[in-house]
Amino acid sequence: LRAMGGAPVLAVTGRRAVTLRARAYDEDIARVVLPSDANSAWVRAVADPAGDLDTPMKGPLRTLREGSADTHRAAIALVKAARLLPAALVLPLDDATGFAAAHELTRLDLPLPPAITPAYAPVAAARLPMEAAEKGRLHVFRPGDGGEEHYAVEVGRPARDGAPLVRLHSACFTGDVLGSLKCDCGPQLHAALDQMGEAGEGVLLYLNQEGRGIGLANKMRAYSLQDQGFDTVEANHRLGFEDDERDFRIGAEILKRLGFSRIRLLTNNPNKIARMEEAGIAVEARVPLKVGEGLHNHHYLATKAAKSGHLL
């Protein structure tokens, strides 16, 4: 990158900048100037908080104040979408269009449009008898932008003009599959299906937004930071993410495609209720889902209540 000339800049989020004690003149983005002797190891140390406690002195870092941050903001949005660490090296080029054409690179016009929820199309559905309910049906929904699939598990045959039990469940490989004791995701998943089975109907939306939307690799990075003594919110911030990066509008879109407009939501998270209402889904009741607390996740749940407003 240096051989191409110019002055590369490391873009990090405002959250990461707070940890680095770097000025984020653009508020949500900080444009860190690379020292002349900076190498790839220096860049990784600034971008990745894994070694923050081992090498706490990284500055003082100089950040840009003048000029547009559109390119840097777009770069952060792209790496977040790819579930990578939210940091990117950015190098302005005199003829970026020609360079992209010569090297067969994708070219995007800036600024990027605001994030929108793509349309989700049903691509397959089949009967699925489950332990919690023999009368089950699994629907697979795929977005038009090539993003991740999401799933709707229908228990029974809920009336489309009714208000069935609905759970918006974010994928949690560690909790749902491995039975991790660090969270309450697995117990919540099974308790929600059990309640729907007892009621004879319901819809569980299984959204592929692992780690509150940061992906499994970054979630493991956050777990590593939690082992160093940071809570779940602090760990996300040190990585450069917000408390919660999920898009609950996806759930509303799928519910509409299934024909529902009113629901009773199984959740402890008021934010899910607000997002459903904003997206045009009427939440007629909140049904608490308090299960799975134990020795290994007590502090995690307390943090969600204190810092994220969960009703626990």
3-class SS at 37? coil
Cα 25 from Cα 274, distance rounded (Å) = 31
3-class SS at 197? helix
The answer to whether 154 and 130 have CB atoms below 8 angstroms apart is: no
> What backbone phi and psi angles, to 5 degrees, belong to 42?
-65, -45
Q: Radius of gyration of the chain from Cα atoms?
A: 22
The answer to whether 193 and 153 have CB atoms below 8 angstroms apart is: yes
> What backbone phi and psi angles, to 5 degrees, belong to 302?
-65, -35
Which residue of the set 48, 244, 257, 262 is catalytic? 244
Closest CA to 168 of 275, 300, 280: 275
Cα 114 from Cα 166, distance rounded (Å) = 29
| Contacts of residue 310, Cβ cutoff 8 Å, sequence gap at least 6 | 268, 269, 270, 301, 304
Which residue of the set 15, 73, 238, 246 is catalytic? 246
Active site residue 246: yes
Closest CA to 240 of 259, 227, 257, 221: 221
**Residue with structure tokens 């229908």?**
154
Active site residue 244: yes
> What is the dihedral sign for C-alpha 224, 230, 233, 234?
negative
Q: Which residues are catalytic?
A: 244, 246
